[in-house]
Structure 1
Amino acid sequence: MDDIRHQIPKNKSGRFIQQLRLHIREAGLSYRTEQTYVHWVKRFVHFHRLRHPAEMGKTEVEQFLNRLVTERDCSINTQRIALNALVYLYKRFLGMDTDSLEFKPAQRNRRLPVVYSSEEILAILKHLEGVYRLQVELMYGTGLRSAELLSLRVKDVDFGSNNIYVRSGKGDKDRTTMLPQGLIPELKRQIRRVALLHRQDLFDGYGDVYLPGALNRKYPSAARELGWQYLFPASSIGTDPRSGLRRRHHMHPTTLTKHVRAAVRAAGVNRPARTHAFRHSFAAHLLESGYDLRTIQELLGHADIATTEIYTHVINRGGKGVLSPSDRLRSQS
């Protein structure tokens, strides 16, 4: 049984988590990262029977990370996220050393991505309309992740250079991807819709949008400018969970996911209905068209080309281009 002095009293645990949240916000990390880190810190604390993190260290972190693998059978990505959260907790928040951690790494099980054929994508698009069709066409036409798509601002679509700018993508990196020419008219119509909605929000006493990092302090008027508004705004004004301000955020990811699932079912596509599959399809179809891996890697924003190489296993060359003996026999009969 742990000593009561090493436990977090209920009235103090809330203060500790709130201080951690404030630290994460001051560091300029996203709300999603804040939620993820707080989730894993809470799991870590409960695993060690509510002992205060300041009373623990490397040994307890290693025990927790090992438990995730041995008893929870977690993926390598899950273990890495938990590790990132605990390194932030100790190194940045508590100022304690986290170097030389020793723990059993999760196994990297290779999973082939879900890739829709061109015919399947056309069938899916027939069951989507309006903004949802545009969103799916953008993911397939640019390789954007759904989170990157929904985070786009009006200013990120550059019709002059035919680029779409991805700000603070995975790994907090910026990149550009191509602007599909066939989507330009609909994108311009979408921006006009956003402009009308924004004008109404300003009239109603709203119109401020969330700005990342210190931009709100550096450019106090930017939050009300059209260029900073989300390209795919939410249907209603909501309360910002951090500031408590009432403003319009971007569309919630579950809204897009719901429409994609319905369209995949209606199209009769007997494979998982995932928004990420359109990004996978983008990469695989470019590879089929003869584009080199390095170009595709840059468009996808992969740090390691080995990540991009997975698409060589799913392009339209079943059996790695080898002619089946069965097909050879049939051709001779």
Structure 2
Amino acid sequence: MPPNEPKLLDQVRALIRTMHYSIRTEEAYVDWIRRFILFHKKRHPSQMGKAEIEAFLSHLAVDRRVAASTQSQAKSALLFLYQKVLKLEVEWLKDVVAAKQPQRLPTVLTFDETKTRLSHMNGETWLIASLLYGSGMRLMEACRLRVLDLDFNMRQVTIRNGKGAKDRLTMLLGTLVVPLKSHLDLIRLQHQRDCGQGVGDVYLPFALDRKYPDAAREWKWQYVLPADALSEDPRSGAVRRHHIDEQRVQRAVKQAAQDANIQKKVTPHPLRHSFATHLLQSGYDIRTVQELLGHKDVRTTQIYTHVLNRGGNAVLSPLDR
């Protein structure tokens, strides 16, 4: 490597940020690439090929016993490294054998189980769990909501830069209008105090802060569910109030399930599954549910038909006639 050329992992970070990947993707890809290099005794990736990648992926599956999705993420990181960073022709990388991901049915709560779980929550974690079930959002989509994304007149929520870097609209539950407005009144006072102390800026994506220098302090750009404390941005070093920590929500949902004695998977994501399933049970067509969930392929949405007591293709068993 020429003496003035950035180190490989620094090149990876720089390109990821240029392509507007999330910080979680950056951390995961850098970690996998580092592990790959260390696994092969610090050899440079340009000196390795298909055999070394297959050996690393096999090590993850056999020795580390990682899940198929974890192995797939490692493969994606290496694909990014070779194609985007090193700019090598690696068509063979797509043919590298990886573990097949199992097709599992989603965990779905009944209507009563959902209401019971929510009744054991309160405050901001109750708000965000209600948004997951009432609007079908993913956890991080709800955590990253900004004030301008809420349209109380149209009763809709704009989800920006969701999975696949896509925007979409979903419904705003009527019963959440008053609690959300009351919550925003408190958050606005907090934001005004932060501005008075010189720390009222919020993170803006895609260099919007350079295009609109004053936007970072505007109320409409603030997070609907901000963190309790200020923190340092790991990329820029700026001290800001970030959005709520998703782990806090996960812990609250788990505790609520234990308090309600619900013996099902206790993560926030089943609330989204329940949203989709209950809509289908209520007679809404699958295309509408697909759009609300933001699924690219309707076949992804069809998996929720498994709980409709009519089989995967809505076929009525002859025994039920």
> What TM-score do you get using the length of structure 2 for normalisation?
0.90
Percent identity, aligned pairs only?
Answer: 45
3-state secondary structure, aligned to 1:291: coil
Amino acid aligned to 1:153: R
Match of 1:39 among 31, 35, 52: 31
Aligned residues: 315
Q: 1:176-218: per-residue Cα shift (whole Å, max 9, x none)?
A: 1111112111111222222111101001110111111221221
Task: Measure how far apart 1:314 and its partner are.
Answer: 2.4
Match of 1:49 among 41, 51, 73: 41
Match of 1:175 among 168, 176, 182: 168
Asked if 2 retains the 8 angstrom alpha-carbon contact of 1:230 and 1:250, the reply is yes
Match of 2:209 among 203, 216, 228: 216
Task: Measure how far apart 1:304 and its partner are.
Answer: 1.6
Task: Measure how far apart 1:108 and its partner are.
Answer: 3.0
Amino acid aligned to 2:56: F
Distance 1:249 1:304, change over 3 A: same
CA distance in 2, matches of 1:40, 1:315: 40
Q: Which residue of 1 is the match for residue 16 of structure 2?
A: 24
3-state secondary structure, aligned to 1:284: helix
Determine if the alignment matches structure 1 residue 225 to structure 2 residue 218. yes
Q: Which residue of 1 is the match for residue 133 of structure 2?
A: 140
Amino acid aligned to 1:304: D
CA distance in 2, matches of 1:200, 1:231: 16
> What TM-score do you get using the length of structure 1 for normalisation?
0.87
Asked if 2 retains the 8 angstrom alpha-carbon contact of 1:54 and 1:94, the reply is yes
Asked if 2 retains the 8 angstrom alpha-carbon contact of 1:155 and 1:227, the reply is yes
Q: 1:255-289: per-residue Cα shift (whole Å, max 9, x none)?
A: 11111111110011111211001000001101111
CA distance in 1, matches of 2:96, 2:157: 41
CA distance in 2, matches of 1:55, 1:228: 46
Determine if the alignment matches structure 1 residue 130 to structure 2 residue 119. no
Question: 24-33 or 233-242, which moves further after superposition?
Answer: 24-33
Q: How does 1:40-189 map to 2 (within 5 A)?
A: 40-69=32-61, 71-101=63-93, 102-189=95-182
Asked if 1 retains the 8 angstrom alpha-carbon contact of 2:11 and 2:85, the reply is no
Asked if 2 retains the 8 angstrom alpha-carbon contact of 1:66 and 1:103, the reply is no
CA distance in 2, matches of 1:33, 1:264: 30
Q: Which residue of 2 is the match for residue 4 of structure 1?
A: none
Q: Which residue of 2 is the match for residue 331 of structure 1?
A: none
Structure 2, gaps ≥5 residues long: none
Asked if 2 retains the 8 angstrom alpha-carbon contact of 1:285 and 1:315, the reply is no
Amino acid aligned to 2:302: E
Asked if 2 retains the 8 angstrom alpha-carbon contact of 1:150 and 1:253, the reply is yes
3-state secondary structure, aligned to 2:74: helix
Task: Measure how far apart 1:133 and its partner are.
Answer: 1.3
3-state secondary structure, aligned to 2:158: strand
Match of 1:203 among 184, 192, 196: 196
Distance 1:291 1:248, change over 3 A: same
Amino acid aligned to 1:55: Q
Structure 1, gaps ≥5 residues long: 1-7, 329-333
Task: Measure how far apart 1:71 and its partner are.
Answer: 4.8
Q: Which has the larger radius of gyration?
A: 1
Q: Which residue of 2 is the match for residue 5 of structure 1?
A: none
Q: 1:201-250: per-residue Cα shift (whole Å, max 9, x none)?
A: 00111011111122122122111111111110000001111111111000
- The alignment's C-alpha RMSD in Å is 2.4
Determine if the alignment matches structure 1 residue 291 to structure 2 residue 284. yes
CA distance in 2, matches of 1:283, 1:298: 11
3-state secondary structure, aligned to 2:57: helix
3-state secondary structure, aligned to 2:91: coil
Distance 1:108 1:17, change over 3 A: closer
